[in-house]
């Protein structure tokens, strides 16, 4: 007999469709603008002007000049993308997905820009000093150093990077903690911490994630989720995150990055040498460590990233399906998972049925429609094994 479940509408409302369409246009425009900036800097030769000013400002001192170049580049890029960022902020408020005040948002923007400047400076200084020291083998050394940086970032993310924008507190809910411990025991694993993520100060969307590496590994649950979801539903979400942990998805993600960066650095080296030899951009000096070629490096990295995006998203969706399955297998019933998904879709204005090609290209998670359908199929196949 078919089960009858009362649940919200499954088709996407015009409002949801419109919101997601605008979001897509926004991120597409942002990408196009960033891309255009790199091309314009190279084609017009302005990157050479930026380099010359940097040397002037730095009194010909190489490392300071690299920093000035990165600083100017980062200011220009931020100025160009800020209209889109502002539009995005307005959009979230318009759709009641955010209650963040303008001042708080501006402060976040400043912090975000500063953080990206610091990270970019570190990466660029490292790359060019390696190029100067070992012009032949620079790309292998840079790759090895970047892996170290990845691991460090993954470890620091929950304790240093994310607290720049959000407050986190150890979860103060004995029932939930106990449920998680039980889930973990059954899985033969232990999660060191569950943290409440104070998302409600800025957003009305709900979210949860597994973050960190080694001693900083933890599950974070948004307070927006803790408030509005039943304990059974939260347990389903916890079980999903635990599934990511058990299946070692963070490690697998890092290993994927290791392989991609190896190829990426190799490709950058080949393209850089080819373009410099052909003198396509006369403003670039033939020396590899001329940091005016940074837009070219960034361009190769951007194009590679865009080309790999569908594959990386497919991998991510595969991981999500694994984590979902883990949740169904390790919780008493599948219904709380389904209602949690429905609530998430409503609360975050997520499309339940996005166009196939959109999901294929851009989505890191399977659509809610597919996740619910998969859960129902699984439940109908495993009904006998379900505890009463
Ligand atoms: Zn997940």
Q: How far apart are CA 260 and CA 242, in angstroms?
A: 26
Q: How far is the CA of 152 from the centre of ligand 1 (A)?
A: 22
C-alpha 354 to ligand 1 mean position (Å): 18
Report how far ligand 1's centroid is from the alpha carbon of 93 (Å). Answer: 26
CA 12–ligand 1 middle distance (angstroms): 22
Mean pLDDT of 335-342: 96
Reported in sequence order, the residue ranges of the chain that DSSP labels E, i.e. its strands, are 168-170, 194-197, 208-211, 218-222
What digits encode the pLDDT tens for the residues 151-175? 999 999 999 999 999 999 999 888 8
Compute the distance from residue 365 Cα to the ligand 1 centre, in Å: 7
Please tell me the distance between residue 7's alpha carbon and the centre of ligand 1 in angstroms. 22
**What's the average model confidence in pLDDT over 16-24?**
94
Distance 224 CA to ligand 1 centre (A): 17
CA of 244 to the centre of ligand 1 (A): 7
Residue 10: per-residue pLDDT = 66
**Model confidence at 213: pLDDT above 80:** yes
Distance from the alpha carbon of residue 135 to the mean position of ligand 1, in angstroms: 41
Q: How far is the CA of 247 from the centre of ligand 1 (A)?
A: 11
pLDDT-based confidence at 388, cuts 50/70/90? very low
At residue 2 the predicted structure's pLDDT band, cuts being 50, 70 and 90, is very low
Q: What is the whole-number distance in angstroms between the Cα of residue 241 and the centre of ligand 1?
A: 6
User: Which tens digits make up the pLDDT trace of 59-107?
Assistant: 999 999 999 999 999 999 999 999 999 999 999 999 999 989 999 999 9
Q: Distance from the CA of 141 to the center of ligand 1, in angstroms?
A: 33
Centre a 10 Å sphere on the Cβ of residue 107 and count the other Cβ atoms it contains.
13
**pLDDT beyond 90 at 183:** no
Distance from residue 1's CA to the centre of ligand 1 (Å): 32
Cα of 324 from ligand 1 centre, angstroms: 8
240 CA to centre of ligand 1 in angstroms:
6
If one compares 41 and 6, the residue with the highest pLDDT of the two is 41
Q: What is the pLDDT of residues 249-281, one digit of tens each?
A: 999 999 999 999 999 999 999 999 999 999 999
Residue count of the chain: 388
384 CA → ligand 1 middle, Å: 27
> Which residues pair with residue 221 across a beta bridge?
196, 208
What pLDDT is recorded for position 385?
A: 53
What value does the mean pLDDT take over residues 291-310?
97
Asked if 226 and 234 count as a contact pair (C-beta separation under 8 A), the reply is yes
Contact between 368 and 345 under an 8 Å Cβ cutoff? The reply is yes
CA of 124 to the centre of ligand 1 (A): 32
215 alpha carbon – ligand 1 mean position (Å): 20
Q: Can you give 269-337 as a three-state secondary structure string?
A: HHHHHHHHHHCCCCCCCCCCCCHHHHHHHHHHHHHHHHHHHHHHHHHHHHHHHHHHHHHHHHCCCCHHH
CA–CA gap between residue 220 and residue 167 (Å, rounded): 11
Q: How far is the CA of 219 from the centre of ligand 1 (A)?
A: 11
Least confident window among 53-57, 237-241, 381-385 = 381-385
Q: What is the mean pLDDT of the chain?
A: 92
Cα–Cα distance measured from residue 242 to residue 246, given in angstroms and rounded to the nearest whole number: 6
CA of 249 to the centre of ligand 1 (A): 9
Using one digit for the tens of pLDDT, what is the confidence trace for 190-209? Answer: 777 899 999 999 999 999 99
**If you measure from the C-alpha of residue 323 to the centroid of ligand 1, how many angstroms do you get, rounded to a whole number?**
6
- Tell me the CA–centroid distance for residue 319 and ligand 1, in Å: 7
Neighbours of 3 (CB within 10 A): 9
- What would the two tokens of residue 87 be? 């539009």
Q: What is the average pLDDT across 131-135? A: 95
């Amino acid at each position: 007999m078919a089960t009858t479940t009362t649940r919200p509408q499954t088709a996407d409302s015009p409002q949801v469709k419109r919101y997601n369409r605008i979001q897509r246009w926004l991120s597409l425009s942002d990408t196009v603008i960033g891309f255009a900036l790199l091309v314009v800097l190279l084609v017009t030769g302005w990157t050479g002007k930026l380099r010359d000013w940097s040397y002037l400002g730095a009194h010909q001192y190489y490392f300071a000049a690299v920093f000035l170049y990165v600083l100017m580049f980062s200011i220009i890029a931020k100025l160009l993308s800020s209209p889109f960022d502002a539009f995005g902020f307005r959009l979230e408020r318009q759709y009641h997905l955010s209650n963040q005040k303008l001042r708080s948002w501006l402060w976040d923007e400043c912090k975000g820009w500063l953080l990206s400047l610091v990270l970019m400076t570190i990466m660029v200084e490292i790359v060019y000093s390696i190029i100067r020291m070992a012009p032949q083998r620079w790309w292998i050394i840079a790759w090895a150093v970047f892996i170290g940086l990845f691991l460090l970032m993954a470890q620091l993310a929950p304790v240093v990077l994310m607290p720049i924008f959000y407050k986190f507190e150890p979860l103060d809910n004995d029932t939930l903690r106990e449920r998680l411990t039980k889930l973990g025991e059954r899985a033969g694993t232990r999660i060191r911490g569950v943290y409440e993520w104070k998302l409600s100060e800025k957003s009305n969307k709900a979210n949860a994630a597994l973050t960190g590496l080694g001693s900083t590994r933890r599950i974070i649950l948004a307070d927006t989720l803790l408030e509005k979801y039943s304990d059974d539903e939260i347990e389903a979400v916890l079980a999903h995150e635990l599934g990511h942990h058990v299946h070692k998805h963070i490690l697998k993600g890092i290993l994927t990055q290791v392989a991609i960066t190896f190829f990426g650095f190799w490709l950058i080296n080949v393209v850089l040498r080819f373009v410099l030899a052909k003198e396509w951009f006369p403003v670039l000096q033939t020396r590899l460590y001329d940091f005016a070629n940074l837009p070219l490096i960034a361009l190769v990295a951007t194009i590679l990233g865009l080309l790999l995006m569908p594959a990386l998203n497919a991998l991510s969706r595969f991981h999500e399906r694994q984590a979902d399955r883990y949740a169904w297998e390790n919780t008493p019933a599948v219904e709380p998972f389904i209602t949690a998904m429905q609530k998430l879709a409503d609360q975050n204005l997520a499309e339940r049925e996005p166009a196939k090609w959109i999901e294929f290209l851009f989505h890191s998670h399977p659509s809610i429609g597919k996740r619910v359908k998969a859960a129902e199929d699984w439940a109908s196949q495993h009904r006998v094994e379900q505890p009463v």
